[in-house]
Amino acid sequence: MPAARVAACLCVRLVWQEQQSLAECLPAALDQVPARDRGFVQALVYQTIRHFQELDALARSALNKPLKRKDGDIHSLILVGLCQLRYMDTPDHALVNATVEATQVLNKPWARGLVNALLRKAIRGQLTAPATEEARWNHPAWLLKQFRAAWPDHWQSLVEANQTPGPMTLRLNLQQQTRADWLTTLEAAGLAGQPTRISPYGVTLTEAGPVDTIPGFSDGQVSVQDEAAQMAVHWLEPQPGERILDACAAPGGKTGHILELTGGRAEVTALDISGRRLARVEENLQRLGLQATLKKAAAEQPDQWWDGQPFDRILLDVPCSGTGVIRRHPDIKLIRRPDDVATLVALQARLLDVAWTALKPGGTLLYATCSVLPEENSAQIEQFLARTPGADIEPLPYPDGVTETHGLPGPLGEQWLPQKDGADGFYYCRLRKHPDNGSSTQSGESGIAPAPQDPGAGRNIP
């Protein structure tokens, strides 16, 4: 199957050399191969990206001189070949043949001998990678440095958890069924799962599978969502009848959860800057049979979306480094740059300030990230509190009966680090606006001019 190796290596190249995310380039790569090969190509791409630093060091140690940038496809093909050898159960002769044949499909016959010799050397155990920290832990050096500094006692388990694929966890709509009843239905369908340890809504499947095999998925009784993400809306504590803003909503996992917990009886506005991603919110809500007002807008520009009426609760699930979900998105290790974190921190601060002005006195704002970097989390909140009078941190109560948490509770919110076989890495901080802190939230007095209300604006997704 040289075509499968070609599709895989071209996708790896796009992530490595062009900083494309897997979400952007993998679907097109899978379209290039017959349906029967798609599972293999996806696994090969994920494994190669997950072990990129180690495979790259191995390949470079064998090359007399690095390949030119324009031959990034051949370099990626070598990584894909080495990955099969180390991490997949393809027989050696089959993987060498197919990988070498792929050089023809790539129209680079000159690379045939090179790829063949290198893979055969690896099979004979004659390749050893230099023992760099990057290759050993399969993370870029700048990220290792940040993890070490932030989590001196936990960085190794954090990095190991990042290398272990996350489990498939589901969120149940408890308005429609109890977790015990649904587990019985799951068993009847020949599948197995365990209740999540902390989220009262979650079930972790023993084995991941296609969503259409999961009972109740198509009619919205069940959604795919990690346990950590489930806790954001749990701690937002949305109530029926409230006006709620989900400020960075797409693809809508948490918008759906807000509506489920309020029985569809909250007035929810879901914003996102990306029209393409907002369309996913629409699809998800349709599956759940729930409704929100969707608006494509930059949340930090309230004149694009705010009518000046304050919200009872705001979920601010901000764009972030994604360093808590590397196990699900290993491409983050290749596409993020150290400078990105500072840019994100500045945007998050702006989003916090603007969302705060749109919050009612006495209202609750839940700030969340899927990051494990303190700049985006506790330090971000520390700075917010220092510049914002009238903001208090509220404790995050764990559900009854929970004795062991994933959290590293601090005075400035709660940090979860990714757990092998458990939840993703996440950060939460619940902020409450003093009830007498009204003046800055009234229309026209916030210093930010609200836009005139446009009753038709809500449903349009350009």
Ligand X SMILES: C[S@@+](CC[C@H](N)C(=O)[O-])C[C@H]1O[C@@H](n2cnc3c(N)ncnc32)[C@H](O)[C@@H]1O
Name the binding residues for S-adenosyl-L-methionine: 248-254, 272, 317
- The reply to whether 448 sits near ligand X by the rule CB under 6 A is no
Contact call for residues 415 and 378 (beta carbons, < 8 A)? yes
Residues with catalytic roles: 370
Contact call for residues 158 and 147 (beta carbons, < 8 A)? yes
x/- binding map, residues 258-287, to ligand X, per CB under 6 A?
A: -------------xxxx--x----------
Nearer to ligand X, 186 or 448 (CB): 448
Of 216, 251, 302, 330, the one binding ligand X (CB under 6 A) is 251
- The reply to whether 167 sits near ligand X by the rule CB under 6 A is no
What is the footprint of ligand X within residues 199-238 (CB under 6 A)?
229
Whole-number minimum distance, CB 34 to ligand X, in Å?
32
Distance, CA of 105 to CA of 6 (rounded, Å): 7
Burial class (CB in 10 A: 0-12, 13-18, 19+), 221: buried
- The reply to whether 254 sits near ligand X by the rule CB under 6 A is yes
Whole-number minimum distance, CB 340 to ligand X, in Å?
13
- The reply to whether 293 sits near ligand X by the rule CB under 6 A is no
Q: How many beta carbons lie within 10 A of that of residue 174, not counting itself?
A: 14
Of 140, 253, 308, 374, the one binding ligand X (CB under 6 A) is 253
Distance, CA of 357 to CA of 48 (rounded, Å): 45
309: amino acid identity, one letter = Q
Whole-number minimum distance, CB 259 to ligand X, in Å?
12
Nearer to ligand X, 52 or 356 (CB): 356
Nearest Cα neighbor of 232 from 203, 198, 197, 207 is: 198
Distance, CA of 204 to CA of 199 (rounded, Å): 11
- The reply to whether 317 sits near ligand X by the rule CB under 6 A is yes
Instruction: Determine which helix (DSSP H) or strand (DSSP E) holds 313, and give its type and residue range.
Output: strand 311-317
Instruction: Determine which helix (DSSP H) or strand (DSSP E) holds 256, and give its type and residue range.
Output: helix 253-261
Distance, CA of 417 to CA of 330 (rounded, Å): 16
* Segment lying near ligand X (by CB under 6 A), choices 74-82, 128-136, 295-303, 452-460: 295-303
Whole-number minimum distance, CB 281 to ligand X, in Å?
8
Nearest Cα neighbor of 299 from 373, 252, 351 is: 351
> Which chain residues interact with ligand X by CB under 6 A?
229, 248-254, 271-274, 277, 298-300, 317, 319
